[in-house]
């Protein structure tokens, strides 16, 4: 017999109270006063809580968080390369288990309503595929509770560390769905070389591309163009993302407009997490132009910094605060980046709160979605394909 769950009295995205019938993990009916299809139907009283679709952490680094370890004072210097070098030292000193650490932070995310994660996993010649293997183990162990998509990420550089490219390719064979990159100019000092290598892999393996681009100003803008060129040449429209893209907030107006037009034409998605002290892409402007935006927690309490707690409602708050959003419609744009935006980039099938969608959702207190973002109240209930994976702020898987 089909397994059924009847959620009574919930308010999808803050709309009027209604019931939702979930059958075999899929939303089967939405409407007032629904009848249970059989006597074995499980009933849950939603008590008028807000229902949001499962939160999507579209940019994570679950392999290297220090979550659950004793407090580690932050020691890295100000430059990107300081942080990369410091991280390798910390990793050696602490001898972390990527499977254990990634499972810890994933469970933390689940407790806050996350049902999908795109995670960049460090691949380099020092540790080889150890982090990938750890994240693959976590993905397998928690496959009924969360969808995890893996980006093979050359955190220490791609071309400046010979052998890394082969490891990235091996990662794609072993289950990574996305090929990553890192400041092709700033780190590798060979933008054409790194981008050609990444896009060749994307073409050969039919995978998507997601490139960390911290390089600012004109150096960054030039690389956005180079990414666009290759996306166009290979017909990878809608399959490429640029993470951070600080340069979009640093160039002159005409230059910005030209870059934005290319992002729209090629459907290149932009990820921003609302960084603390950097200029970052203009969320409303890009959204209004039709650029797909998404967000993520990025590193959480790791060698890069002490911040983060895995909460994508808090991330929507940070995006709103950093963007000076005050109107509800603006805050909802930030919230959509942390839900539908990330799901679209991950190509999550059947995502949303409509009939026919997977029942991935979170119940939280709040009169409206904006109030939920501002309050970041404990998540009363989190469902993954109709199964309860967290309740009262605690992960139960």
| Residues within the interface to Zn ion (CB under 5 A) | 298
Closer to Zn ion by Cβ: residue 120 or 340: 120
CB of 226 to Zn ion, least distance (A): 20
The least distance separating Zn ion from the CB of residue 246, rounded to whole angstroms, comes to 12
Q: How far is the CB of 42 from Zn ion (least distance, A)?
A: 39
Of 53 and 186, nearer to Zn ion (C-beta) is: 186
CB nearer to Zn ion: give 298 or 302. 298
- The residue with its CB nearest to Zn ion is 298
Specify the residue, 87 or 169, whose C-beta has the smaller distance to Zn ion: 87
HEC string of the chain equals: CCCEEEEEEEEECCCCCEEEEEECCEEEEEECCCCCCCCCCEEEEEEEEEEEECEEEEEECHHHCCCCCCCCCCCCCCCHHHHHHHHHHHHHHHCCCHHHHHHHHHHHHHHCCEEEEEEEEECECCCECHHHHHHHHHHHHCCCCCEEEEEEECCCCCCCCCCHHHHHHHHHHHCCCEEEEECCCCCCCCHHHHHHHHHHHHHHHCCEEEEEECCCHHHHHHHHHHHHHHHHHCCCCCCEEEEECHHHHCCCHHHHHHHHHHHHHHCCEEECCCCCCCCCCCHHHHHHHCCCEECCCECCCECCECCCCCCHHHHHHHHHHHCCCCCHHHHHHHHHHHHHHHHHHCCCCCCCCCCCCECCEEEECCCCHHHHHHHCCCEEEEEECCEEEEECCEECC
Q: Which is nearer to Zn ion, 50 or 269 (CB)?
A: 269
Q: Which of 59, 61, 244, 273 is catalytic?
A: 244
Whether 340 is catalytic is no
Minimum distance, C-beta of residue 127 to Zn ion, in the bound complex (Å): 17
Instruction: Name the minimum Å distance from CB 308 to Zn ion.
Output: 11
Vertex 218: Cα angle to 213 and 222 (nearest 5): 65
Question: By C-beta, is 139 or 273 nearer to Zn ion?
Answer: 273
Contacts of 115 (CB under 8 A, 6+ apart): 54, 55, 56, 146, 147, 360, 361, 362, 382, 384, 389
Closest approach of Zn ion to the CB of residue 212, in Å: 5
Q: Min. distance of Cβ 238 from Zn ion in angstroms?
A: 21
Looking at the Cβ atoms of 124 and 298, the one nearer to Zn ion is 298
> What amino acid positions are annotated as catalytic residues?
244
């Amino acid at each position: 017999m089909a397994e059924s769950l009847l959620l009574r009295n919930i308010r999808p995205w803050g709309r009027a109270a209604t019931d939702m019938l979930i059958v075999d993990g899929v939303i089967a009916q939405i409407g007032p006063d629904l009848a249970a299809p059989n006597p074995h139907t499980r009933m849950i009283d939603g008590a008028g809580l807000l229902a949001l679709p499962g939160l999507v952490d579209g940019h994570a680094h679950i392999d290297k968080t220090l979550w659950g370890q004793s407090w580690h004072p932050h020691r890295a210097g100000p430059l990107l390369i300081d942080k990369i070098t410091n991280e390798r030292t910390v990793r050696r000193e602490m001898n972390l288990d990527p499977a254990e650490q990634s499972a810890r932070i994933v469970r933390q995310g689940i407790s806050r309503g996350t049902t999908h994660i795109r995670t960049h996993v460090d691949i380099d010649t020092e540790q080889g595929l150890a982090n990938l293997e750890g994240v693959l183990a976590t993905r397998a162990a928690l496959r009924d509770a969360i969808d995890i998509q893996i980006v093979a990420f050359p955190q220490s550089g791609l071309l400046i560390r010979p052998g890394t490219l082969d490891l990235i390719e091996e990662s794609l064979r072993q289950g990574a769905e996305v090929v990553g990159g890192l400041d092709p100019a700033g780190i590798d000092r060979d933008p054409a070389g790194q981008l050609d290598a990444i896009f060749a892999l994307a073409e050969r393996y039919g995978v998507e591309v997601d490139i960390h681009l911290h390089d600012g100003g004109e150096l960054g803008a030039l690389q956005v163009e180079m990414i666009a060129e290759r996306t166009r040449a290979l017909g990878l429209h809608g399959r490429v993302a640029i993470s951070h893209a600080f340069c979009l907030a640093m160039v002159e107006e005409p230059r910005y407009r030209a870059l934005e037009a290319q992002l729209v034409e090629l459907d290149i998605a932009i990820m921003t997490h609302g960084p603390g002290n950097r200029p970052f892409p203009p969320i409303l402007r890009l959204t209004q132009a039709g650029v797909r935006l998404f967000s993520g927690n990025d590193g959480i309490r790791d060698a890069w910094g002490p911040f983060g707690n895995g909460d994508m409602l808090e991330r929507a708050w940070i995006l709103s605060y950093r963007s000076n959003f005050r109107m509800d419609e603006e805050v909802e744009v930030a919230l959509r980046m942390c839900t539908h935006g990330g799901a679209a980039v991950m190509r999550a099938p059947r995502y949303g709160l409509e009939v026919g969608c997977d029942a991935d959702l979170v119940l939280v207190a709040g009169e409206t979605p904006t109030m939920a973002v501002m309050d970041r109240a404990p998540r009363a209930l989190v469902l993954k394909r109709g199964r309860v994976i967290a309740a009262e702020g605690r992960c139960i898987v």
